[in-house]
Amino acid sequence: MLTLFFSALFIFLVTYLSYYLYVKKQIDKPWNLKVDREFEPEITILVPVHNEEKNIEPKLENIKSVNYPLEKIEIIVVDDASEDDTAPKVEAFIERNPNLNIKLIRQRFRAGKSAALNEALKHSTKPIVIVSDADTRWPSDILRKALPYLADPRVGAVTGRGINENSEKSWVTKAEDAYLQLANLLRLGESKIYSTIRFEGGFCAYKRDVFEGFDCETGSDDSGTALEIVQNGYRTILVPNAVFYTSFPTSFMRKLRIKVRRANQLIGLWIKCLKLLLKGRLVLPKRIAIPEIILFVFSPIIFFIMAVTGIGIILFSPFSPLGLSLLLAVLFLLLVARQVFVEIVVDNFVLLSALVTFIFNRRYVAWEK
């Protein structure tokens, strides 16, 4: 038990700390990209929806208010068989705004977000395709901050940085905010190294001619599509000042459902990367891919072994030097770095649950409200 515990602890800490420190060093390095602030292409904004009657009108008003020429914007709302008044609200918005180029595409049968986006993609006529979830809000300057990076011919896609508007609402949202800060640090560092494929659905902008369609295999329409673009020889990066706003559930159980679904998709994505790596076909640099594969696929198993053996040591030898040291270490972390500690524990058990669902062939390709 001691051997297992210390082996798992060593692998877990070395993987996290070494990758964190390596990526952190990259953040302050220059982009070495051609960033053209005058770059102003025509764009298509895709808004996939399923039962979003409360969000769709505010979302369209939000898009309407962005600082960008409206004549260069095409908006396509794709309704994935909603059972509420989402589609009628879109139609009413179109009638009230005849000066906007808006299309509504309705799918009769629910097929999932990626399939809905691919249906919308058939109707897109612009060289840049931007995807945004209906429950997110853009600041007016997001396009002015993000699109100049696409002026570089080596960049195939960019994503934004999500900010939780309700981060102080509960301990659940505070812990999620701690996770987001770490994830964004890794995404930015990876972007500076070469590319990050951790894209966020609140804002993703793609050059239309660098990918065939949105990823339906893993259900990760954003990150899976970023992987395809990298495999096609282009960079995919996070633009850190291109932020968007969203809200995260305040209840723990709702958080778990969302994170397990997302983790299941990302595990599928990184297993796909592992297969490409083993075949010698992965374009994403190994110094990014290997740590991420370990963190998403192997780390939760290592963490589980560490947790079970650690609990076993405490239960069987509570007054031993090691047992007391473990108890004191846990108490210290809960007092000094509670949000980070709790989030690491939760995220690894979420990844473990998602890995189990993935192994048993559970796929999340259709969204839940």
Please tell me whether residues 175 and 310 are part of one structural domain.
Answer: no
Final residue before a domain boundary, out of 210, 227, 257: 257
- Tokens representing 117 are 């986006």
Do 77 and 332 meet the contact criterion of CB atoms below 8 Å apart? no
Sheet strand arrangement including 204-207: 101-107, 73-80, 43-49, 128-131, 204-207, 155-164, 235-246
Residues 181 and 235 in one domain: yes
Mark whether 201 and 307 lie in a shared domain.
no
Same domain, 73 and 157: yes
Whether 81 and 59 share a structural domain: yes
Last residue within a domain, chosen from 257, 291, 322 = 257
Give residue for tokens 């629910």.
110
Sign (positive or negative) of CA dihedral 180, 170, 255, 47? negative
Given 257, 283, 315, the domain boundary residue is: 257
Considering the domain architecture, whether residues 191 and 120 belong to the same structural domain is answered as yes
Quote the pLDDT of residue 69. 95
The answer to whether residue 262 sits within a structural domain is no
- Mean pLDDT in the chain? 90
Residues contacting 244, CB < 8 A, separation 6+: 132, 136, 137, 138, 139, 142, 160, 161, 162, 163, 200, 202, 203
Is residue 369 pLDDT above 90, yes or no? no
Q: Is residue 132 part of a domain?
A: yes
- Residue 298's alpha-carbon distances to 292, 349, 353, in angstroms, are 10, 12, 13
- My answer on whether 104 and 244 are in the same domain is yes
| CATH number of the domain that residue 219 is part of | 3.90.550.10
236 and 350 both lie in a single domain: no
What is the H or E stretch that residue 130 is in? Answer: strand 128-131
In a domain, 154, yes or no: yes
Q: Are residues 199 and 55 in the same domain?
A: yes
Which domain covers residue 309, as residue numbers? 2-25+273-359
Dihedral-angle region of residue 251 (phi above 0 means left; psi in -120 to 50 means alpha; beta otherwise): beta
263 falls in which pLDDT band (50, 70, 90)? confident
Residue 363's pLDDT is what? 60
In whole angstroms, how large is the CA radius of gyration of the chain? 22
Q: Is the pLDDT of residue 365 over 60?
A: no
User: For residue range 116-174, what is the model confidence (pLDDT) as tens digits?
Assistant: 999 999 999 999 999 999 999 999 999 999 999 999 999 999 999 999 888 788 878 88
What is the percent of the chain where pLDDT is above 70?
Answer: 98
Statement to judge: residues 94 and 213 lie in one domain: yes
Whether 368 maps to a domain, the answer reads: no
Q: Quote the number of domains for the chain.
A: 2
- What does DSSP say about strands 73-80 and 204-207: parallel, antiparallel, or unpaired? unpaired
Question: Residue 364 domain-assigned?
Answer: no
Give 98 or 332, the one with higher predicted confidence: 98
Is 123 among the domain residues?
yes
Tell me, yes or no, whether 166 and 252 share the same domain: yes
Residue 268 within a domain: no
Kindly tell me the burial class for residue 127, based on how many C-beta atoms sit within 10 Å of its own C-beta (0-12, 13-18, 19 or more). Answer: middle
Q: Tell me whether residue 187 is in a domain.
A: yes
Residue 353 banded pLDDT, cuts 50, 70, 90: confident
φ and ψ of 46, to 5 deg = -100, 130
Indicate the pairing of strand 204-207 with strand 155-164. Answer: antiparallel
Which residues, 6 or more positions from 45, have their beta carbon under 8 angstroms from its beta carbon?
A: 63, 73, 74, 75, 76, 130, 131, 132
Mean pLDDT for 177-183 is 86
Q: Give the mean model confidence (pLDDT) for residues 327-338.
A: 81
| pLDDT tens track for 211-224 | 999 988 877 889 99
List pLDDT tens digits, range 183-210: 999 999 999 999 999 999 999 999 999 9
Cα 98 to Cα 43, 104, 117: the distances in Å are: 18, 13, 24
Tell whether the model's pLDDT for residue 367 goes beyond 60. no
> What is the distance between the alpha carbons of residues 210 and 259, in angstroms, rounded to a whole number?
29
Band of the pLDDT at 227, cuts 50, 70, 90? very high
pTM of the model: 0.89
Shared domain for 115 and 244, answered yes or no, is: yes
